[in-house]
Amino acid sequence: MSIKIHIDVTLLPLTGGQSIVEVKGERVSQCLEELRAQFPGLKQMFDNEGNLWSDISLYLNRHSIYSDQPVKDGDELTIEVGVAGG
């Protein structure tokens, strides 16, 4: 299954400037693993147990997700990084 991942602008230096990356997988976790394999610098998005940092949000077809959901061919996954400041 081919899934498009839209990469947050703050992560573009870690993907060589690619804002959309195609990966294969049957679940969100598999897609993220393939993304991390293609771009090892993205490992900083994950803690020591392999979980995403809490300031990173995932959207599957524009719907917020919080768990490892199945994906189907043509789905789009979006990674957004929360930015704090003041």
pLDDT at position 86 is 62
Burial of 73 (0-12, 13-18, 19+ CB in 10 A): exposed
pTM: 0.90
Q: Which residues pair with 22 in a beta bridge?
A: 4
Q: Which two tokens stand for residue 80?
A: 């957004």
pLDDT digit string (tens) for 55-78? 999 999 999 998 889 999 999 999
Assign 3-class secondary structure to 2-17.
EEEEECCHHHHHHCCC
- Computed over every residue of the chain, the mean pLDDT equals 92
Is residue 84 predicted with pLDDT exceeding 80?
Answer: no
pLDDT digit string (tens) for 38-56? 999 999 888 888 888 889 9
pLDDT at position 66 is 82
